[in-house]
Amino acid sequence: MDKEGASRQMASVSTTQTLSRAAFLRGLRRARPTALRPPWALLEDDFRLACTRCDTCLEACPESVIQRGDDGLPQLAFDNGECTFCGDCVAACEDGALSYERGRPWRARAAIGTGCLALDGVVCRLCEEACEPRAIRFRTLLSKAPIPALDESACTGCGACVAACPVTAIEVTERTEA
């Protein structure tokens, strides 16, 4: 290979490496866990320090919506139910990691993703039916299936819609503290 060809090849390898690195970093950002802590949890850094990973809140939850994460810390999983904000997990936590001093239970809100069947023209309103605060309403479009819209101010982050959605298109995540 002549000098020019070698130089072109090196530039191509370098570009490929740059793209691979960008894709890798994008993947890392997407893969970063966004665990939702139990309601009334301290802010994340304080929570990590205070929680002793004792599993007491998991055992106390009558809805079985708290599970142990890979890091041993409790996190919410709405696969089979919703949080009723009964407070049993807070009462069970003796380490102060869950505390009413936080004020509101959380800033968690639902978000409807692009996997929603209605966006593909399928008539499905299961999330609306599951949502007691009526934070999910459907807009009817001419000759199309109605599509859902979320009213964040009405959403409590209870997760009832997550359990109801047949294609796991809904996620509940904590919003950033103001």
Among 88, 99, 137, 173, binds ligand SF4 (CB under 6 A): 88
User: Residue type for 108, please?
Assistant: A
Among 36, 51, 77, 158, binds ligand SF4 (CB under 6 A): 158
Q: Nearer to ligand SF4 by C-beta: 51 or 65?
A: 65
- Using a 10 angstrom Cβ sphere, with 0-12 exposed, 13-18 middle and 19 or more buried, the burial of residue 82 is buried
Among 36, 37, 38, 77, binds ligand SF4 (CB under 6 A): 38
Q: What is the rounded distance in angstroms from the CA atom of residue 79 to the CA atom of residue 114?
A: 19
For position 36 contacting ligand SF4 by CB under 6 A, the verdict is no
Beta strand pairing status for 74-76 and 170-174? Answer: unpaired
Residues 111-130 that bind ligand SF4 (CB under 6 A): 112, 116-118, 124-127, 130
Asked if 134 and 154 count as a contact pair (C-beta separation under 8 A), the reply is yes
Q: Candidates 15-23, 25-33, 46-54, 59-67 — which segment interacts with ligand SF4 by CB under 6 A? A: 59-67
For position 39 contacting ligand SF4 by CB under 6 A, the verdict is yes
Output the six-digit token pair for 7: 């130089």
DSSP character at residue 98: B
Q: What is the rounded distance in angstroms from the CA atom of residue 173 to the CA atom of residue 107?
A: 8
Q: Which positions lie near ligand SF4, rule CB under 6 A?
A: 38-39, 60-61, 63, 65-66, 83-89, 110, 112, 116-118, 124-127, 130-131, 133, 135-136, 148, 150, 155-161, 164-165, 167, 169-170, 172
